[in-house]
Structure 1
Amino acid sequence: MRDQNIEAIKNYTKAIMLKDQTGHGMDHINRVVRLANKIADTEQCDHFVVIAAAYLHDTVDDKLVSDPEDAYKQLSEFLASLTISVSVVERIIHIVENISFSQTLTGTREKLSIEGQIVQDADRLDAMGAIGITRTIYYGGHKGNPIYDPKILPRTLQSKSEYRKDSTVINHFYEKIIRLNTGLNTNYAKKIGQKRQEFLEEFLKEFMKEWNE
């Protein structure tokens, strides 16, 4: 029955994210699921909650959906239609509500369960390294942001509203992406994150070198 529920959850996500052109499509979702599954194997956790939340984590994101409140309503109704307990539904939704980077800027993020920490790690790892670099540039292009402007300095983000304001693609690395490594939760993710962080830092050094040549 759990396999059937996971398949239904996957299909629900696919219907929402399949046409995404921001770097949060099903390729991203599937990588997060795979990473979350690997991390979950190293922790004492509920694998079903991990995989379900990994599939659903972007389906209500306010930068991706036009009406987040309605998206949450639809998600709650969908999960209630499955053969899972109310408590499990609440655990999944709590993760979806609290794993995003922007939540750290609002001061409203609630403490994540180990399952939430795993999904957050998997999501953050996919924003790092070669894949993360590609996704960041792809998202910046989607938003119409300039690649780089030395006159526009990176910000120290203090609020979600500031975070949502456009900047340059390269500034986004300094404002968010390069900071993700210090926020990883699990030992398995930290090992992967270190390698991806080093790759990211080398990329930024090379970018600046070539820009200034």
Structure 2
Amino acid sequence: MTPAALQSACEAALARLWGDTTDGAHDLGHVRRVLANARTIAAGEGGADDMVLIPAAILHDAVNLPKDHPDRSRASALSAEAAAEVLAALPYPAEKIPAVAHAIAAHSFSAGIAPETAEARILQDADRLEALGAIGLARMFHVAGQMGAALFDADDPMALYRTLDDRRFSLDHLEVKLFPVAAAMQTETGRAIAAERAEWMQSFRTRLLAEIG
């Protein structure tokens, strides 16, 4: 099975798994960007198996639960199980399926599973890069809007006199999660890209604060 055929088969399987559900922050564009990120990181790091990265990246959100779902922390494990079933039905090397499943299970921030392989470390960084930079901000505000959060606290946007609360205020998410994510990348290539994107987000926040006075 060629890499292109594998990607096409995994995308078709993902479409079947998602059905009619729509999520602007977790759509086909997202998984394709994660795959592109993974390939960029793999090229910088070396030693990764593209035939593991492709299905892991495409199927990493096969089971996509909302941020406030009680089983959210299990979403990556459920996605890993779904991916294993998809790959078992394809002309795909059975011996590679555990590596794909581990990479998917370990990619999630909330799962708390340490990545043990090159592919798992790369996928975790590739997915987390989607939370940074311009695309990260777009996704952040999109998800926050879905959950009913305000853009920021008009009285104290930088939380100088209150506790950070990213469930109420979108801008708080930068300090609560996104800047820490940028500082905790697994690979040297991922860290370099994340640092540039985090710097851009800081510049955006500075501009936003200037505009709102």
1:134 to partner: Cα distance = 0.8
Q: Secondary structure at the match of 1:101?
A: coil
Asked whether the equivalents of residues 153 and 171 of structure 1 are also in contact (C-alpha less than 8 Å), the reply is no
By relative contact order (CA 8 Å, sep 6+), the higher-ranking structure is 1
Q: Name the counterpart of 1:84.
A: 92
Matched letter for residue 34 of structure 2: V
Q: Name the counterpart of 2:53.
A: 50
Provide Cα deviations, 1:66-94, integer angstroms capped at 9, x if missing partner. Answer: 98587655433222112223331111111
Asked whether the equivalents of residues 132 and 198 of structure 2 are also in contact (C-alpha less than 8 Å), the reply is yes
Q: Name the counterpart of 1:134.
A: 138
1:191 to partner: Cα distance = 2.0
RMSD value, Cα: 2.6
1:126 to partner: Cα distance = 1.4
User: Counterparts of 1:194 and 1:71 in 2: how far apart (Å)?
Assistant: 29
Which range is displaced more, 25-34 or 109-118?
109-118
Matched letter for residue 163 of structure 2: L
- Listed as ranges, the matches of 1:16-95 within 5 Å are 16-17=17-18, 19-42=21-44, 43-63=46-66, 68=75, 73-95=81-103
Matched letter for residue 94 of structure 1: H
Q: Name the counterpart of 1:2.
A: 2
User: Counterparts of 1:80 and 1:201 in 2: how far apart (Å)?
Assistant: 44
Asked whether the equivalents of residues 129 and 200 of structure 1 are also in contact (C-alpha less than 8 Å), the reply is yes
Structure 2 residue runs without a partner (length 5+): none
Which range is displaced more, 172-181 or 7-16?
7-16
Q: Secondary structure at the match of 1:169?
A: coil
Asked whether the equivalents of residues 25 and 139 of structure 2 are also in contact (C-alpha less than 8 Å), the reply is yes
Matched letter for residue 193 of structure 2: I
Q: Secondary structure at the match of 2:183?
A: helix
Q: What percent identity do the matched residue pairs reach? A: 26
User: Counterparts of 2:50 and 2:194 in 1: how far apart (Å)?
Assistant: 22
> Cα gap change, 1:39/1:70 in structure 2, threshold over 3 Å: closer, same or farther?
closer
Q: Name the counterpart of 2:163.
A: 153
User: Counterparts of 1:166 and 1:101 in 2: how far apart (Å)?
Assistant: 17
Aligned length: 199
1:120 to partner: Cα distance = 1.1
> Cα gap change, 1:81/1:40 in structure 2, threshold over 3 Å: closer, same or farther?
same
> Cα gap change, 1:70/1:134 in structure 2, threshold over 3 Å: closer, same or farther?
closer
Matched letter for residue 150 of structure 2: P
Q: Name the counterpart of 2:118.
A: 114
TM-score, with structure 2 as normaliser: 0.81
TM-score, with structure 1 as normaliser: 0.81
Matched letter for residue 130 of structure 1: A
- Listed as ranges, the matches of 1:186-205 within 5 Å are 186-205=187-206
Corresponding residue to 1:125 among 122, 129, 132: 129
